[in-house]
Chain A
């Protein structure tokens, strides 16, 4: 459906106003520039001041890549903290129709068109505004102390999802482990065993892209790409994975927090940037000793990925659903009936990949 002209004008005007606020913030605090690549696409973070560095950088720094002249211009995210800089992000004026005062799954009604999307994260008090045509976005945090513990391991999700999905690359809620020749996605609801299964692989020959979020890019080859170099584990699961002892950051003890593993710091050799997708595995804790793979209907793979991804990502569009569906159609889906003998988990995955990856 074509956008209403009033919406187009409103969204563009608001984007410019947010941009002016960032300009003001950047005059008060020196700008820190960070360059990286996600799925081979250049990204630049410009932070007014360094206050947001501990929030946005640790989970992304493993993808740091110097900007190369002559390459595709980077998509740029301008970030600032309102409290530290003293610069407020402008409020979209709410009108009687509810425009600007209503969130629809994180998107601010009336301030979104085909190119511009305005998000507001109520729980963290963070405004994100994306402009695909101008290849820029703004990320305004009111107060670092209000940001919830789940933002640091996976920052800038709304913006990165909007940008990357426009390129045919979909952020999904799922882990991924594998080798250069191919790997698997681990999908399922919280508590299914994705993190435990993924982190068990750190003590094997398998590499890891993620335990929680990764990118899928359907095509002639369906690729899985790295985005966040972090893993999280429930505190009551730590003793089951002894090779993680002493390596997790566990300084945020608020409700909803989990210890975070920054993979680049402790397992840099295990981090994989991308691999071809060979299968989708749905971990299931059996309570039995042994682990095995059981083929299941592909739709179970879709159901394991799509709903939880949709609820965790603001701005999940129908096009995103198609990307997930195309990725699911491309590979077989198995139930990973995970046993209590943890080393069997990576062994079963390795054995499967060994027979699937061309020599």
Chain B
């Protein structure tokens, strides 16, 4: 487990609009707001598991064994992408040292951290304003 530092940045999965499942080591995440879904394996899936609780960069680096520069570069890039996709966000430092998954997640050898993004559902899932409502109003559609 890492040490808590209230000045450090901590990151965590934003559960509010997400749903995720792990099947045979592969993680699938659906973002119900954007309509996108993501697939993660190996290093990415491992980091995703750790991010279920608040994690600092140091905590995330500790998920891997291997060359420190490779690990820090890969983790930073991955975290940036997850943040851009609104899958994780910066959160307040946790009140207590992380237990649970953080305490039992053993480090694994580092491999490039990547995820696949799928947008084929996006159009069909996004909010659809009733722009075809006629003068009489909903639910009378314009002819």
Contacts and interface: CB of A to CB of B under 8 A. Distances in A.
Contacts of A311: 121, 124-125
B2 to A, nearest CB: 30
Q: Bin the interface of chain B by size.
A: 20 to 34
Contacts, number: 81
A186 interface: no
B129 A299 contact: no
Interface in B36-72: 37, 39
Nearest to B124: A311
A288 interface: no
Contact of A307 (B118, B127, B132, B141): B118
B125 A122 contact: no
Interface residues of A, number: 33
B21 interface: yes
A101 B130 contact: yes
A109 B138 CA distance: 14
Contacts of B121: 307, 310-311
A325 B23 contact: yes
A295 B32 CA distance: 30
B89 interface: no
Interface string A282-304: 00000000000000011100110
A122 B130 contact: yes
A300 to B, nearest CB: 10
A102 B131 CA distance: 9
A89 B125 contact: no
A142 interface: yes
Contact of B139 (A1, A105, A142): A142
Nearest to A325: B21
Given A100-B138, A105-B124, A321 B21 contact: yes
Contacts of B126: 105
B16 A318 contact: no
A307 B28 CA distance: 11
A299 B141 contact: no
Contacts of B141: 122, 125
B24 interface: yes
Contacts of A98: 129
Contact of A125 (B30, B118, B137, B139): B139
Contacts of B30: 306, 310, 318, 321
A89 B137 CA distance: 12
Given A94-B138, A101-B133, A302 B124 contact: no
Contact of B120 (A92, A307, A322): A307
Given A103-B129, A105-B127, A297-B24, 11 more contacts: A89-B139, A91-B137, A91-B138, A109-B127, A122-B128, A122-B130, A298-B24, A299-B26, A302-B23, A310-B121, A325-B23
9 contacts: A91-B137, A101-B138, A103-B127, A105-B124, A125-B139, A299-B28, A318-B32, A325-B28, A329-B23
Interface of B: 16, 19, 21, 23-24, 26, 28, 30, 32, 37, 39, 118, 120-121, 124-130, 132-133, 137-139, 141
